[in-house]
C-alpha cells in the first residue's frame, strides 16, 4: 500500500486527532500528533456573544470552526444561559464554514442555513456574493489569531462585519512528543507533515528553532512532503521558504487525502 510504514505528522494534539490516527493506522501508516498551539478561552464568551448579538443585531452569524462552537456552548452550562445563547444565535441566519462545524451547530439544535462548497474564507465570500447580502451585518465568533482576510473580503463585498474574539492561541511546547519528533526529524524518518493552521506554522518554527538553526530546518523540510490545510496556511509556510501543496478541500480529511495522493 502507498502509506505502508510511512510516518505522517499532524500539527495537532493527540486528543484532537483520533480520526486522523485511526485512518492512517488503517492504511498501515504511522501517525504522529505533534502539538504546536494551545487554546486559551477568554472570559464569559457566551455571555459576551449574547450581548453582542443583542446590541449589534446582526443579520448573519458565521462560524469558522468546530472549536468556536464547542467553546461557546461548553461555557453555557447553566440551562438558562444555554437557551439564551441558543436563541441568540438562532435569531441570526447561520453560516458554517464546513460539514464538521455544521454538525457541531446542529448538535446544539442550531439550524444552519448556508455552507460553502469550498470550506474556506473564500467559500464564505462566495456565499454572500451569491445571496446578495449587500449592507447586511455579520458577526463572527473566532480566534484572536485569525487573519483579517475574511473580514476584509466581506467588507469589500459591502457587508458590515464584527468579529468577536472568543479564544487566543499560544505556542505550546509539549516536551515529550517534541523530543520524539525531533529525533525522527533529524534522522530523516518523517515522510509527511500536515499543517492545520497558519498559527501552527508560526508555532512550529518558534519551537523547532529552539532545537536547531533555520537552515537545517528548511533543508530537512525540503525532503518531506508538506501539505497545508488551506491557502492561508500555505502562505505562512512560503514565508518561511517552505514548499508545500495546498489541500484541495480545506479540512483535515481533505489534507489527509492530499497527502495520500502525493505519496
Choose the final residue of a domain: 113, 148, 169.
169
Same domain membership, residue 90 and residue 196: no
User: Which residue range(s) make up the domain with 30?
Assistant: 7-36+172-262
At 117 the pLDDT is 92
User: What's the CA gap between 195 and 228, in Å, rounded?
Assistant: 5
239-248 residue pLDDT tens: 999 999 999 8
At 49 the pLDDT is 96
Confidence of residue 24 (pLDDT cuts 50, 70, 90): confident
- Write the burial class of residue 43 (CB in 10 Å: 0-12 exposed, 13-18 middle, 19+ buried): exposed
pTM for the full predicted model: 0.86
Same domain membership, residue 232 and residue 181: yes
Average pLDDT over residues 38-43: 93
| pLDDT(1) > 80 | no
Choose the final residue of a domain: 103, 134, 169.
169
Same domain membership, residue 241 and residue 123: no
Same domain membership, residue 114 and residue 86: yes
Same domain membership, residue 162 and residue 177: no
187-240 residue pLDDT tens: 999 999 999 999 999 999 999 999 999 999 999 999 999 999 989 899 999 999
> How far is C-alpha 220 from the geometric centre of its chain's CA atoms?
25
Same domain membership, residue 49 and residue 158: yes
84-114 residue pLDDT tens: 999 999 999 999 999 999 999 999 999 999 9
User: What's the CA gap between 45 and 154, in Å, rounded?
Assistant: 23
Tell me the β-bridge partners of 140. 163
Asked whether residue 207 is domain-assigned, the answer is yes
At 2 the pLDDT is 67
Q: Which three cell numbers stand for residue 34?
A: 505533534
Confidence of residue 20 (pLDDT cuts 50, 70, 90): confident
Number of separate domains in the chain: 2
Q: Which three cell numbers stand for residue 237?
A: 509556510
At 3 the pLDDT is 73
| pLDDT(73) > 70 | yes
114-169 residue pLDDT tens: 999 989 899 999 999 999 899 999 999 999 988 899 999 999 999 999 999 999 99
The answer to whether 55 and 16 are in contact (CB under 8 A) is: no
Confidence of residue 37 (pLDDT cuts 50, 70, 90): very high
Average pLDDT over residues 2-11: 88
Q: Which three cell numbers stand for residue 93?
A: 441566519
Asked whether residue 1 is domain-assigned, the answer is no
The DSSP secondary structure of 205-256, one letter per residue, reads: HHHHTTTS-HHHHHHHHTTSEEEESSHHHHHHHHHTT---EE-SSSSHHHHH
Which CATH number covers residue 18? 3.40.50.10090
Same domain membership, residue 192 and residue 152: no
Asked whether residue 59 is domain-assigned, the answer is yes
132 vs 55: which has the higher pLDDT = 55
The residue ranges of DSSP E strands in the chain, in sequence order, are 7-10, 30-33, 37-41, 60-63, 93-96, 137-143, 160-171, 192-195, 225-228, 245-246
Amino acid at each position: 500500500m502507498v502509506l505502508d510504514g510511512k510516518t505522517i505528522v499532524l500539527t495537532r494534539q493527540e486528543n484532537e486527532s483520533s480520526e486522523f490516527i485511526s485512518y492512517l493506522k488503517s492504511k498501515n501508516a504511522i501517525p504522529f500528533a505533534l502539538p504546536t498551539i494551545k487554546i486559551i478561552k477568554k472570559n464569559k464568551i457566551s455571555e459576551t456573544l449574547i450581548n453582542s448579538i443583542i446590541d449589534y443585531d446582526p443579520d448573519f452569524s458565521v462560524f469558522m470552526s468546530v472549536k468556536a462552537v464547542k467553546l461557546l456552548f461548553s461555557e453555557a452550562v447553566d440551562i438558562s444561559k444555554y437557551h439564551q445563547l441558543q436563541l441568540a444565535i438562532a435569531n441570526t441566519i447561520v453560516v458554517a464554514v464546513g460539514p464538521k462545524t455544521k454538525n457541531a451547530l446542529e448538535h446544539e439544535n442550531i439550524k444552519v442555513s448556508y455552507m460553502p462548497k469550498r470550506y474556506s474564507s473564500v467559500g464564505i465570500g462566495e456565499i454572500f456574493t451569491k445571496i446578495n447580502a449587500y449592507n447586511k451585518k455579520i458577526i463572527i465568533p473566532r480566534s484572536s489569531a485569525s487573519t483579517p482576510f475574511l473580514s476584509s473580503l466581506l467588507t469589500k463585498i459591502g457587508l458590515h462585519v464584527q468579529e468577536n474574539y472568543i479564544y487566543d492561541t499560544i505556542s505550546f511546547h509539549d516536551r515529550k512528543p517534541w523530543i520524539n519528533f525531533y529525533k525522527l526529524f533529524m534522522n530523516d524518518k518523517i515522510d509527511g507533515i500536515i499543517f492545520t493552521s497558519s498559527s501552527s506554522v508560526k508555532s512550529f518554527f518558534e519551537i523547532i528553532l529552539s532545537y536547531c538553526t533555520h537552515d537545517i530546518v528548511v533543508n530537512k523540510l525540503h525532503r518531506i512532503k508538506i501539505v497545508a490545510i488551506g491557502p492561508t496556511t500555505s502562505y505562512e509556510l512560503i514565508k518561511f521558504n517552505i514548499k508545500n501543496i495546498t489541500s484541495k478541500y480545506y479540512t483535515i480529511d481533505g489534507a489527509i487525502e492530499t497527502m495520500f495522493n502525493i505519496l
